[in-house]
Amino acid sequence: MTLFDDATFDAGFCFTGFDPEALGLDLCAENCLELVARRIGYGPDTLPVGEKAGRIKTVIAQGIEAVALAGQGKPVTIDRWSGKEVVAGPVCVQSPRWSHVVRQAQEPQALYGFILTLGRDFDRVKEKAALFDAYVLDALGSEMVEQAADRVEQRIRAWCATRNRVCSRRFSPGYCDWPLAQGQQALGDFLAPAAIGVKVLASGAMVPSKSITGAVIMARSLPLSCPCPVCNQANCAYRRVA
């Protein structure tokens, strides 16, 4: 069985200790340099070169080596929705904006929740690093876990297509109008992330620190794949094209 085949997605997936390449992430220090540099404040015309670039790439390589990717996810039937929330089994998405996406859908059927982590070893490397190196590793971890979540979203979308279904863009607690602590607790209770070594704290933070939760809405059709087109926050840094 491959990491993500259709049978895996039907029942839900769970994996631990994988190299990032298992998700199709082509990560190396050279490829990550510009992405990480921008996250730590370099502009497109001021990217690091020479000794500074060499140091950053060395730190990036150390971070990649420490990654032990783990993930878990499964679908749950959408039971009901209102103008304020979407309820799918034990998961309550307290978000009027995502509720609007579901209300516009044709035959909304399920929510697919997931959680991913880079693992505790990545945190240990960062904790032992010098201040600048830890800053680089923090940016690298954020970049890698977001790319991993993008790959999972893409794979869920492909799986939905084999079932004549579509799915929304992925969304996470703490973004848009879904409260962080409530959403993290809801997904944590649903997914039981201890199986992959993740703990959800009451604040909504997670251990290991480079962990991410997400969900997508599955339906027969979705006029809106995210709430952004009907949101009046035009300058939102996280605004997406539907």
Residue 109's H or E segment, with its range, is strand 106-117
Instruction: Give the whole-angstrom CA distance, residue 39 versus residue 16.
Output: 27
Question: Average pLDDT in the 103-132 region?
Answer: 96
Is residue 232 very low, low, confident or very high in pLDDT (cuts 50, 70, 90)? confident
- Look up the pTM and report it: 0.93
Q: Summarize pLDDT for 47-93 with one digit per residue, the tens.
A: 999 999 999 999 999 999 999 999 999 999 999 999 999 999 999 99
Is residue 236 pLDDT above 90, yes or no? no
Percent of the chain with pLDDT over 70: 97
What structural domains does the chain harbor? 6-227 (3.40.109.40)
How far is Cα 171 from Cα 186, in angstroms, rounded to an integer? 14
Q: Are 134 and 202 in contact (CB under 8 A)?
A: no
Judged by phi (left if over 0) then psi (alpha if -120 to 50, else beta), residue 89 lies in left
Block residue for tokens 């929330």: 85
Give the per-residue pLDDT at 180: 97
Euclidean distance between CA atoms 93 and 20, whole angstroms? 29
- Over residues 122-140, the mean pLDDT reads 97
- The whole-angstrom separation of Cα 134 and Cα 210 is 13
Q: Rg (Cα) of the chain, in Å, rounded? A: 18
Average pLDDT, the chain: 93
Q: What is the mean pLDDT of residues 142-154?
A: 95
Q: What is the pLDDT of residues 158-168, one digit of tens each?
A: 999 999 999 99
Q: What percent of the chain has pLDDT over 90?
A: 81
For 9, counting Cβ atoms within 10 Å of its Cβ (0-12 exposed, 13-18 middle, 19+ buried), the class is buried
Angular region, 105: left φ>0, alpha ψ -120 to 50, beta rest = beta
Q: Is the pLDDT of residue 234 over 90?
A: no
Specify which residues 213 forms β-bridges with: 115
For residue 5, is pLDDT > 90?
no
What DSSP character marks residue 21?
Answer: G
What local confidence, expressed as pLDDT, does residue 1 receive?
A: 40
φ, ψ (nearest 5 deg) of residue 85:
-155, 165
Residues with Cβ within 8 Å of 128's Cβ and at least 6 positions away in sequence, in order, are none
d(CA 53, CA 128): 21
- Annotate 41-97 with three-state secondary structure: CCCCCCCCCHHHHHHHHHHHHHHHHHCCEEEEEEEEECCEECCCCEEECCEEECCHH
